[in-house]
Chain A
């Protein structure tokens, strides 16, 4: 019975992470503040799509992927794992300074234990390695900019540059020297193109397959989730798509309106979980002050 109950909603860990990250009584405005572009962008409803795209790109670095494949509960609990990451991003964004710093310290501590050898390339990896962390950071920021500009509430090029610049702080928190972090959209793109070694290893394919069709997902949202995965794949740059062997999606399925409708339908399911709406209201109210 408990098992059945658990299956009721896989989005619950994500919802809990969200509502916990947005404190009811923050001590201060945190690292970015309500007037920042980071605040505005990170509450966008298109975030799950940006998240999927991030994972797909991040996984193409064999050493980053190996760390995840060998050291996390990814397979057993994909939503829990995604919720942890998403909770971290939201805490650093909306939490007060002390909470954000504490979360970053914890992540750095976890990373320090994630070391090994990638079975595909035979190379050593350390999760705390700044160049790996920079890749993870860049793939995420690039995905958020791309998706929010295309399907979100709108982000003009000046705001996008400002966002990338503000996000340097994010990379710094996990241990990347700020001078190495791209601080504009152009610099970000240049950096991503410059990274070698990329390939879709079996571990990457395997983990992305789980993301696209997580085991045990409710039937009622499963199809919608898979559809979102197709859209995410469709937003990938051509080189990334061909590494995975994804086909190019039909142009009409990538249009803004139907994608927003899909996101809206899924968002209703997410928003209906107790705590989500309240957390969104807390963000909204602080931004309005």
Chain B
């Protein structure tokens, strides 16, 4: 290889390592690091970045920064994280710009929200209260505090007036429609707006998030690899969410760890998604890098449950069926009819079943064969491209039904995360442990530990039932 060639090769490989993460970062708004409490112990740096000098001092200043569609469009940008291949440049940069610059609340303003919500000043409610936040959230900010009984907590405080302004902005459907149409030409505008509205209305209510998080936290209690911080109910309201404070390493740091560590973390993330779906019938809808804390050895803390979707058996059945038909039975006709029942494909579309298997099959390619597979950034991009392909042979006949929009988003996000980790595993075996039609044996050390946890969990449940 010539010198120039090898140089090119190096540049290529560096780019391919960085690019997906950079893109991911851009998609979630360039601010994802700031959104998670991972920087607990680096809060000094963080503070420098959160512009104190520009701190918002009144509800009016909040409205100027985040009202008049800005908050809503910011969320739109987040939701569109994996759709942005289609997004015109103006909007793409706008989205990232917007999130990059939401200044924090001044201590007095944050304190006034706490007072209004919890009935007392933070200095009296908590044994220790950090008056400046250590992280930003999309419609609020997160403070570190210590409760009067000595627990370290993260307190998410919502910007004042933001709930009302978001509600009003969402009512301006005509304007939203124009923006969505222009920004995401390939998307079904109406269902996208409906999803956006539903999500935002949920997200502004921290009590819902508290409920979701507790649901996950209780289920995963004692899990050897998966941790969900507990909610402190008595210090949480619709605008204030107090949870256990967890420290760990961020995604960027994980990328510097060795491949074995990355593989284990990826396995745990993958298990969390499958287990939550098949056992809890719930999906936490925000699989972006800022929502994880890594503790080494495959142990991961999952944060941010503002976007949780629950599935009924009816929602889930055709997906399970499609999986079974394709992956276990290798039966194209059966696969196709399951996709039709789920609403992904129009019944009677004039396309051969082989094409359906070929096009949709890509989404199952990590579990098609019983062998280790590496999820590369290139593979993750191919999946995203295929998903949003508006020109392929199936495009005129395929759709994402509303109840699955968030599921798809999570899947694409998951691939992007696993891809940037270059994660290798026998995904088929791991999947089989949880697929209801297989319920295979533990296939990895993490799987074995998880099986023991599950057995103990069942035992505990029995004991408590007898009592």
Interface residues of A (CB under 8 A from B): 8-9, 45, 153, 218-221, 223-224, 227, 257-258, 260-265, 267-269, 271-273, 277, 281, 284-285, 288
Show the binding face of B for A, using Cβ within 8 Å.
51, 53-54, 60, 64, 67-70, 73, 88-91, 93-98, 101, 168-169, 172, 175, 178-179, 182-183
A285 / chain B contacts, CB cutoff of 8 Å: 53-54
A106 CA / B451 CA spacing, docked (Å): 79
Minimum CB–CB distance for B173 against chain A, Å: 11
Instruction: Tell me the minimal C-beta distance from A263 to chain B in angstroms.
Output: 6
Name which residue of chain A comes closest to B172, CB basis. A261
* Structural contact, B54 and A261, CB atoms closer than 8 A: no
* B169 proximity list for chain A (CB < 8 A): 261
A264, B70: Cβ atoms under 8 Å? yes
Q: By the criterion CB–CB under 8 Å, are A261 and B69 in contact? A: yes
Which of B51, B68, B93 is within 8 Å of A272, CB to CB?
B93
| Of A224, A263, A269, most B-chain CB atoms within 10 Å | A269
Cα of A258 to Cα of B173 in the assembled complex, Å? 10
Instruction: Report how many A-B pairs have Cβ atoms within 8 Å.
Output: 79
Which residues of chain B are near A288, meaning CB under 8 Å? 53
Distance A281 CA – B52 CA, assembled complex (angstroms): 12
Chain A residues with CB under 8 Å of B73's CB are 265, 268
Who on chain A is nearest to B57 by CB? Answer: A288
* Inter-chain contact B182/A263, CB cutoff 8 Å: no
By secondary structure, the B interface counts as helix
A142 to chain B: closest CB distance in Å? 24
* 6 extra interface residue pairs, beta carbon distance < 8 Å, beyond A218-B90, A261-B68: A220-B90, A223-B178, A224-B175, A265-B175, A271-B94, A272-B97
A219/B182 in contact, CB under 8 A? yes
* Chain A, Cβ-Cβ closest to B174: A258
Chain A nearest CB: distance from B56 CB in Å? 11
Rounded to whole Å, the gap between the CB of A286 and the closest CB of chain B is 11
CB distance from B133 to the nearest CB of A (A): 19
Cross-chain contact A224 with B69 (CB below 8 angstroms): no
How distant is A43 from chain B, measured CB to nearest CB, in Å? 10
Nearest-neighbour CB distance to chain B for A235, whole angstroms, equals 17
Main secondary structure of the interface of A (DSSP, over half): helix
CB-contact partner of B178 in A224, A263, A264, under 8 A: A224
Given the complex, which residues of B lie within 8 Å of A268, measured CB to CB?
A: 69-70, 73, 94, 97-98
Q: Give 22 pairs: A residue, B residue, CB < 8 Å, sorted on A.
A: A9-B90, A153-B60, A218-B88, A220-B91, A224-B178, A260-B68, A261-B68, A261-B169, A261-B175, A262-B175, A265-B69, A265-B175, A267-B68, A268-B70, A268-B94, A268-B97, A269-B94, A272-B90, A272-B96, A277-B101, A284-B54, A285-B54
B1 to chain A, nearest CB (A): 31
On whether the beta carbons of A9 and B54 are closer than 8 Å, the reply is: no
Contact at A9–B98, with CB atoms within 8 Å? no
- Closest residue to B71 on the A side, CB-wise? A264
Bound together, the chains give a CA A223 to CA B175 distance in angstroms of 10
Q: Which residues of B contact A272 (CB under 8 A)?
A: 90, 93-98
Q: Is the beta-carbon distance between B64 and A45 smaller than 8 angstroms?
A: yes
Q: In whole Å, how far is A205's beta carbon from the nearest beta carbon of chain B?
A: 26
> Which of chain B's residues have a CB closer than 8 A to the CB of A153?
60, 64
B63 CB, min distance to chain A CBs, angstroms: 9
Q: Determine whether the beta carbon of A264 is less than 8 Å from that of B54.
A: no
Sort A-B residue pairs by CB-CB distance and give the 4 closest, nearest first: A264-B68, A272-B94, A220-B182, A272-B97
Q: How far is the CA of A153 from the CA of B61 in the complex (A)?
A: 9
A residues less than 8 Å from B97 (CB atoms): 268, 271-272, 277
A14 to chain B, nearest CB (A): 13
Contact A264 B69 (CB under 8 A): yes
Q: Which residues of A contact B179 (CB under 8 A)?
A: 224, 265
B residues less than 8 Å from A269 (CB atoms)? 90-91, 94
Give the residue of B69, B89, B182 whose beta carbon is less than 8 angstroms from that of A9.
B89
